[in-house]
Amino acid sequence: MTGSEVLKTRAGAFRHEHLDTVQSTNSELMQRARNGDPGALWLTASRQLSGRGRRGRGWMSERGNLYASLLLIDPAVQSQTGSLPLVAANAVERAIAASLPGLTRITSIKWPNDVLIEGRKVSGILLEAERLADGRLVVVIGIGVNVSICPDSAPYPVARLSDYAAGADASMLFARLFETMSEELAIWDKGAGVSHTVERWRRAAHGIGERITVNLPNAQVRGRFSGIDDDGMLRLETDEGTRMFAAGDVFFDN
């Protein structure tokens, strides 16, 4: 059996459901897991009424963009799930890059999992996890991609896919994402392949070597972004020495 046949078989293991309107594809899938859904389910929606972003922010969710979440149950032992944001970012970056024929190397990933086109955010990813009463771990990977509309006010530069690929649409992008996510999950292999995941992430990384500010809930730390370690933590060279971050919002100083 060739590698691609294996990947196709694995891709086929995921179900997909589309809804016109939902509060949040992430919240809907978390609720379904609590109600007994076995997982490996993609949910997409044409619009969300309460789309959520990271750090309690909202996510603009009008018709025209991609809103997709993937429900995984016990994707790996808990110690390995910290690298799932990198898996998701790799998958989204590849799906977007594949939607830009003829435009090479204009997509990148800003730590940990924002996907950029020419340095401007085109996609955000929100991972949420919860333990079920029976001890199983639910992980929901939520992905929003600006396909034909951009938020009006964002604290960072934004992009939309349709400015680079005429006729881009959410369902075409989702078909690519369905494949790339299956492939990146197979490479990650429940955490056993994390070194491959990290290596793939590094190849797409935005701004290694540049000066950044890491915004934390109660502090800002400045330094030079020198890369990520083998668990996906951000390495920052500050005047006081090297610091590692598991979470935070990164802004490039320029």
Cβ distance 42 to 18 under 8 Å? Answer: no
Q: Is 181 near ligand BTN (CB under 6 A)?
A: no
DSSP string, 166-193: TT--HHHHHHHHHHHHHHHHHHHGGGTT
Structure tokens at 226: 């020198």
> CA–CA separation, 171 vs 99, rounded Å?
12
Q: Is 70 in the site for ligand BTN (CB under 6 A)?
A: no
Residue closer to ligand BTN (CB basis): 27 or 197: 27
> Site for ligand BTN (CB under 6 A): which residue of 48, 83, 107, 180?
48
Q: Give the footprint of ligand BTN on residues 100-139 (CB under 6 A).
A: 114, 124-126
Minimum distance, C-beta of residue 114 to ligand BTN, in the bound complex (Å): 6
Using rule CB under 6 A, residue 52 touches ligand BTN? yes
Beta-carbon count within 10 A of 62 CB: 13
The full 3-state SS of 101-117, as one line of letters, equals CCCCCCEEEECCCEEEE
Q: Which of 51, 85, 191, 207 binds ligand BTN (CB under 6 A)?
A: 51
**Which ranges of 3-83 would DSSP assign to H, the alpha helix?**
3-11, 25-34
Q: Which two tokens stand for residue 85?
A: 């944001």
Task: Tell the smallest beta-carbon distance from residue 38 to ligand BTN (Å).
Answer: 20
Residues in the chain: 254
Which is closer to ligand BTN, CB of 68 or CB of 198? 68
Contact between 85 and ligand BTN per CB under 6 A: no
At 142, give phi and psi (nearest 5°).
-105, 135
Q: Please state the closest distance from residue 158 (CB atom) to ligand BTN, in A.
A: 11
Q: Which amino acid is at 30?
A: M
User: Using the rule CB under 6 A, which residue among 11, 18, 53, 243 binds ligand BTN?
Assistant: 53
* Of 52-60, 87-95, 178-186, 225-233: span binding ligand BTN (CB under 6 A): 52-60
Contact footprint for ligand BTN (CB under 6 A): 24-26, 48, 51-54, 57, 59, 67-69, 114, 124-126, 142-144
